[in-house]
Amino acid sequence: MSLDNALLTIQVLAALSMVTSLSLDWTGVLQLRRARTLTSAREGITTLERSTAFGTWARLTLAGGLWLAVDADHWTGWIIAGLVGWTALVLLGEPLTGKDLRPMAKIARKSDDLPTKLAAKIHDPRLWCSVHTRTGVVAAVLTDMLAKPGTVLAFALLAAGYLIGTLTARLTRSRQPEPGNPA
């Protein structure tokens, strides 16, 4: 197997890992939105922590795609849009995997009940918006990878995915009840 074929195989596996990570993000965020007890909040946080493992490996192996583009000196519009999309996924995923998740996990591990501070963090609308927006971007990037459109259409698909994801997050966002109060 040539290096390019091996990198292409790794690239496909990275895309599948990214979709798996996004699926776990959905599961974790939905668990957090329903969480009214510390136990259920911990389950959602654990799911998001598992997602970070898939996402991290997917992002690292996506570098193989960059090498393929450099090696072939092949910078068509869909490749550039795909790289921009993957970069956006990393940035949009930060609320789920980075600065928001670490403090949530720390508070959840040290607490005996669902403190108000943790309840506010697990019901933060940014988590909901992040998972929706990332879904739109993933759909656009995968469409670009499969259809291989020209530059304008590739970036239009990417923008549309972002906008649709953001719009669905806003349209489906609901006010979360306080812990202990019924919905």
Instruction: Tell me which DSSP letter residue 90 carries.
Output: H
- pLDDT-derived band of residue 95, with 50, 70 and 90 as boundaries? low
For the chain, the structural domain boundaries read 3-172
Q: Who contacts 28 (Cβ-Cβ below 8 Å, separation ≥6)?
A: 44, 45, 46, 47, 48, 50, 51, 96
66-75, 104-113, 148-157: which is most confident: 148-157
- Does the structure show a pLDDT above 80 at 19? yes
pLDDT at site 5 = 81
26 or 56: which leads in pLDDT: 26
Residue, of 124 and 94, whose pLDDT is higher: 124
**Nearest-angstrom CA–CA distance, 22 and 19:** 5
Tell me, what's the pLDDT at 106?
A: 87
Q: Are the C-beta atoms of 11 and 64 separated by less than 8 Å? A: yes
Of 11-15, 73-77, 155-159, 167-171, give the lowest mean pLDDT range: 73-77
Residue ranges of the alpha helices (H) in 111-175? 116-122, 125-147, 151-172
What pLDDT is recorded for position 180? 47
Is pLDDT above 60 for 179? Answer: no
What is the pLDDT averaged over residues 48-58?
Answer: 81
Question: Quick check: 97 pLDDT over 70?
Answer: no
Asked whether the predicted pLDDT for residue 181 surpasses 60, the reply is no
pTM, 2 dp: 0.82
Q: Work out the average pLDDT over 89-102.
A: 75
Q: Is the pLDDT of residue 52 over 70?
A: yes
